[in-house]
Structure 1
Amino acid sequence: MTLKERMLNEKLYGSFIKIMTNTSITILAKNAGMDFLFYDCEHGMYTYERLHDLLLMGNAIDMPAFVRVPQLARGDISKALDCGATGIMVPMIENRIQAQKLVEWSKYLPIGKRSYAGGANTNYKGSGNHKNNMMEINDRVITVAQIETELGIKNIEEIASVKGIDAIIVGPADLAISLGIPEEYFNIKEIDAIDKVVEACKKYKKGFGIIGKLELIEKYKKEINLLITKIDLDIIREGFIKAVDDMKSLYK
């Protein structure tokens, strides 16, 4: 069963990755019970070469990964997918045309118009067999629209209705800023906005997720398919703090 198939039937657990570049992160995540990793190429500093190695290693051990690209651009989307990403997410999608472009550049015919090339995305199989490879990859790749603005909320119905958009993930921090209520994640304006996304995902049978604090995720735990809370920065920071506290406790 592909991650896309599992997404609509299970609760999948993942972590956002911004600074870790060693491929061992994929093994550590898998051994911990993670279902996927989510590499941030919008605010993170990954080169395509490093991204390729991380994704290839993950695919080899059945640890699929999403990539958040920096912008809605054909080159960014196709390059990340050619590196072997299972899922692709574009930030700040705000209307139907943008959602359609995202699908066009992330899916092969007959769904989109993605340019074909073998490589990490085909696990370096021999050349040829384009039609079957395209069908297999279309079935596997998860195309995600990230909703982070008031305009995106206003147009959520038309975004969610686009064929080929597989999931919608809310970015609550930028959404709160766009709504004029920075960091007020439980403000009624923010909750009403997220509720609209939830309803659109239910109506059009899309996966749903939130990248944010555990308290906010808990509120929507029944509706969320893709649970993403900790980023590698948090995990490392908290690990260091615990290590120091444990050592200090020896002398109390």
Structure 2
Amino acid sequence: MHQNVPSSRAAAIGLAICVMNTVETVAVARRTGFDFIVVDMEHGRIGLDSLTDISVAGLLAGLPVYARVTGPSSPDIARVLDCGAIGVIVPHVDTLEQARAIVEKTRFLPTGGRALPGPLAMTGFEPVPVAELIAKAEATTRVIAMIESRSGLDAADDIAALAGIDGLMIGSNDLAAAIGHVGDIGHDVVQQAFRRIGAAAMRHGKSFGAMGLPPDRVREQALAFGADMIVATNEINLLFEGAQRTMADFRQITEQV
């Protein structure tokens, strides 16, 4: 089963930023070897100002920053790209019609109808000719649809086939819950859903990623189906887990005195 699984080096590993909305997170992620950052604007307090700071810092550090917006109807889908995010991750994409609307907002003509912005962070805010701006933006921007529902699962192949969509990403816990297996990501039915989505992405030459998988499920449930993007954890989980380990170590030391 594992003969055709990509090595861990083939998959980019990302860190989600959910609460700690400062540029220092970019430095930490870069220094510790993460391949990309996802700024989570769907849940919690992070807004456009912080997204912009983190995105510009990411551009300067050579670390790609993606923005996860609130959903297909978010007013920020194009703005996060204007503000410096290299890509947008759109959660809860349930239908082909929603995917088409996302492409319309995020892609310039002729693929979509994105409004032409002023100078962008991606050009160092240098005013450049419109044709050059469009060419560079279209070459570097990534638009990723998250599949997190039964209807999204059914539409995954059509969404993956759509020009302007660069990849599919699974919201692991939401998808498991939506197909009747709350909290049981490793259930056979959930694994088959991952397989279907990964196959749809690969069939149309698109990226495939997963968010919310525990480490012991990554090889079986993501890499085995062609995943090239893995969001490993978020900064709050890292802080909490590190705090627990440190406290356990120091409690053991002090109690031995």
Deviation (angstroms), 1:128: 4.1
Equivalent position of 1:216 in the other structure? 217
Deviation (angstroms), 1:29: 0.6
Whole-Å separation in 2 of the counterparts to 1:193 and 1:221: 14
Equivalent position of 1:227 in the other structure? 230
Whole-Å separation in 2 of the counterparts to 1:159 and 1:226: 18
Equivalent position of 1:54 in the other structure? 54
Structure 2 matches for 1:50-129, cutoff 5 A? 50-73=50-73, 75-129=75-129
Is the CA contact 2:66–2:87 (under 8 Å) kept in the aligned structure 1?
yes
Equivalent position of 1:45 in the other structure? 45
Is the CA contact 1:150–1:178 (under 8 Å) kept in the aligned structure 2?
yes
Distance 1:246 1:120, change over 3 A: farther
Deviation (angstroms), 1:186: 1.4
Equivalent position of 2:253 in the other structure? 250
Equivalent position of 2:21 in the other structure? 21
Deviations 1:16-75 (A, max 9, x none): 110111211101111111111001101131121111111111111111111110021362
Deviation (angstroms), 1:119: 3.8
> 1:209 aligns to what SS in structure 2?
strand
> 2:233 aligns to what SS in structure 1?
strand
> 2:75 aligns to what SS in structure 1?
helix
Opposite residue 247 of structure 2, the aligned amino acid is V
Whole-Å separation in 1 of the counterparts to 2:241 and 2:65: 23
Identity between Structure 1 and Structure 2 (%): 24
Opposite residue 248 of structure 1, the aligned amino acid is R
Equivalent position of 1:181 in the other structure? 181
Deviation (angstroms), 1:109: 1.6
Opposite residue 217 of structure 1, the aligned amino acid is V
Deviation (angstroms), 1:190: 0.9
Whole-Å separation in 1 of the counterparts to 2:31 and 2:77: 29
Deviation (angstroms), 1:121: 3.6
Opposite residue 224 of structure 1, the aligned amino acid is A
| TM-score, scaled relative to structure 2 | 0.90
Is the CA contact 1:94–1:159 (under 8 Å) kept in the aligned structure 2?
no
Whole-Å separation in 1 of the counterparts to 2:141 and 2:55: 13
Equivalent position of 2:151 in the other structure? 151
Deviation (angstroms), 1:102: 1.2
Equivalent position of 1:163 in the other structure? 163
Deviation (angstroms), 1:216: 2.2
Whole-Å separation in 2 of the counterparts to 1:160 and 1:168: 7
Deviation (angstroms), 1:243: 1.6
Opposite residue 177 of structure 1, the aligned amino acid is A
Distance 1:100 1:24, change over 3 A: same
Equivalent position of 2:132 in the other structure? 132
Whole-Å separation in 1 of the counterparts to 2:99 and 2:185: 25
Is the CA contact 2:119–2:127 (under 8 Å) kept in the aligned structure 1?
no
Is the CA contact 2:91–2:146 (under 8 Å) kept in the aligned structure 1?
yes
> 1:77 aligns to what SS in structure 2?
coil
> 2:38 aligns to what SS in structure 1?
strand
User: Please, which moves more after superposition, 24-33 or 93-102?
Assistant: 93-102
> 1:102 aligns to what SS in structure 2?
helix
The question of 1:237 aligning with 2:234 is answered no
> 1:66 aligns to what SS in structure 2?
strand
Q: Gapped runs of 5+ residues in structure 1?
A: 1-8
Q: Gapped runs of 5+ residues in structure 2?
A: 1-8
Whole-Å separation in 2 of the counterparts to 1:65 and 1:206: 19
Whole-Å separation in 1 of the counterparts to 2:118 and 2:190: 42
Deviation (angstroms), 1:246: 2.1
